Amino acid sequence: MITPMVKVTFMGPKRHLMGVLDLLHSIGVVHLEPFPIPDQRLEYMHFPSEDEKQAGIRRQMFDLLERVERLLVTIKAPATLSRAPAWLFDRHISREDLEGAILRAEEEITEPYSNLIETQDELAMLQRYERVLAALYPLLEDATELENLELMGIILQKRRKGILPLLEKELNRITAGRFHIYTRPMDKDNIAAIMAYPLENDGTIRNLFSEENITEIRLPEGYEDKPLATTLRLLIKRQKELPARIAELKGRLEVCSMRWYGTLSRIREILRERIEEFRTMSLSARSRHTFFLRGWIPEEKVESMFGVLKSNFGDEVLVEAIPAQVHEHSEVPVQLRNVPFVRVFEPLVRLLALPRYGSLDPTPFVALFFPIFFGFILGDVAYGLVLMALSAWIFRRFSERPLIRSLAAVFILSGFSAAIFGLLFGEFLGDLGEHWGLHPILMDRSRLIMPFLFIAVGLGFTHIMLGFMLNLVTSVRQRHHKHWISALANMMSLAGLAAVIISAAGYLPQGEHIGILLLVLGIPLLIFSEGLMGPLEFLKSFGNVLSYARLMAIGISSVVLAKVANMIGGATESLAVGALVAMIFHTLNFVLGLFSPTIHSLRLHYVEFFGKFYQPGGKPYKPFRRHRTL
């Protein structure tokens, strides 16, 4: 059902505006809306604009919120979340207190986090040099025995290995034979080398390497001025030290997370709440000394809200409560409220727009007919039990996901319906149940196709007639006279045509007289209420009834495919192979039997049934409330 709503207007001195907003935020039941100001009162009242002081406070709140969110990303959530300290739940906590706590957290967190980032960057840089270091370091033992020679590391592609003799010839010429080259494979594509030569030949040799496109090993920033041998040893030593340093810094941040995460999360909530309260001030209107607020509240919450406001502000803040008027229904927020069995079907209704306030909530009817249609189509004990088990597992597995839990509950009920219809039709994995003594209680739908069709169309007739009945009730309540006359005329005409057809088929003797009478009365009423298009719309409604024949067609295809699976499985000589083949076909049929009944049952509701009475256009009820998690 749709929760009855009451329009509430709050009036009081301007000095209480923030206090009232804070209290309404805590109560969390009022859906606030902009306060309308009649044209003749505009000179006395205005929407509040932020003054410089309020704008400054709001900017400070945003700055603090940004700092808190940056800290929370930095430390991340601990495995065990601690509760925020009690002082953070004081309604009158000051912005200065919040800022002081944030500053203390920054002082404790920023230093180890900055060091961690720097250390991780340094380790990543050294890891990029890892292959080079591993190749060059063994060469140092030989190279460092040479005194008064400059060392240079180079990388040479293996496919250019033939250049080494030419390189040695040139170095011999430049240095007069005073050079050494030590090489070692670095990977499958490259060779690492250390060259030793006199310092006075350094410029000439570097020019030679540049001309020959030979890559010199570039040392990390900060190590360029040190000798190559010293640098390599320092880099390898540093690379071994850094993981322990990183582990230490991460440990310090984990301690910070345990200490500060709950506190910072609560501060974030407080800042968001206060920013929202500043934003909500724009919904109010004010005269020189008075503020005005307007919103909607569920009818059963009005008295308790009065009591809370009275205890906090006495008679200084007044509240006017007026039930929603018919002309306001398009503006009233909608809250659906159903018993748990029906509530799980609300996500199926919310796939469309919410129903308009003052109309009917279709959820109870979906909760009744969707499982019936689903079970009527699937109609197999085994498939129904498997669907129930699978849905129950999903229901438990996703216990913290309300939407998934609701849909799982829907399919638990639908699986139960399929199992019940399976008993009525005598189906367990198609006709396999016959070998175990399972026999139809109602009918064997695979053999009695026409009776099965009549039942499906009869379900459709009942569903469509219910839709017109709901339209009639809603139209009478809303005083839309032509609408309820149209609904009544459609019901009469539909019943009359059905009576004529059933009588012509020989199932209702003398029924054509009643049918013709209903048509004679109903068609003129349709023309009166809907014009010349009325009879055409009635024929469309009759087509909607015939559309329910899909319940029979899809159900028959499901049982036929199950029988084919058993037939193919039984035709094989090997029991194991036959069971495997049958299982594959039954699995395919189960998957089809999950999607097809769902899609077509929803279509029959959304198109055929809802089209007769459903009034979309409701806006969701969003109370001004706090969302506290700690």
Give the residue, 600 or 537, on which the prediction is more confident.
Answer: 600
Number of neighbours of residue 321 by Cβ within 10 angstroms: 14
Q: What does the pLDDT look like over 343-374, one tens digit per residue?
A: 999 999 888 888 888 888 999 999 999 999 99
Say how far apart CA 153 and CA 160 lie, in whole Å.
Answer: 17
Q: How far apart are CA 438 and CA 44, in angstroms?
A: 81
Tell me, what's the pLDDT at 42?
A: 45
Domain extent listing, the chain: 131-219, 360-614
pLDDT at 137 over 60: yes
Q: Is the pTM of this model over 0.75?
A: no
Look at residue 44 in the predicted model and tell me its pLDDT.
Answer: 47
Longest CA–CA span in the chain (Å) reads 127
Helix (H, G, I), strand (E, B) or coil at 181: strand
Q: What integer pLDDT is reported at residue 182 of this predicted model?
A: 73
Which pLDDT score, from 0 to 100, does residue 165 have?
Answer: 82
452 vs 449: CA distance, rounded Å: 5
Scanning 281-329, the segments in alpha helix (DSSP H) are 302-313
Residue 375 has what pLDDT?
A: 92
The DSSP bridge partners found for residue 192 are: 155, 184
**Rg of the Cα trace of the chain?**
40
Per-residue pLDDT at 90: 72
Q: Assign 541 to helix, strand or coil.
A: helix
Instruction: Kindly state the tokens that stand for 163.
Output: 């250049």
Which of 98-102, 225-229, 308-312, 623-627 is the least confident region? 225-229
Average pLDDT, the chain: 81
- What integer is the mean pLDDT of 224-238? 67
152 has pLDDT over 80 = no
Contacts of 196 (CB under 8 A, 6+ apart): 143, 146, 149, 150, 151, 179, 180, 181, 182
Q: CATH 3.30.2130.10: does it fit domain 131-219?
A: no
Nearest to 362 by CA among 351, 373, 372: 351
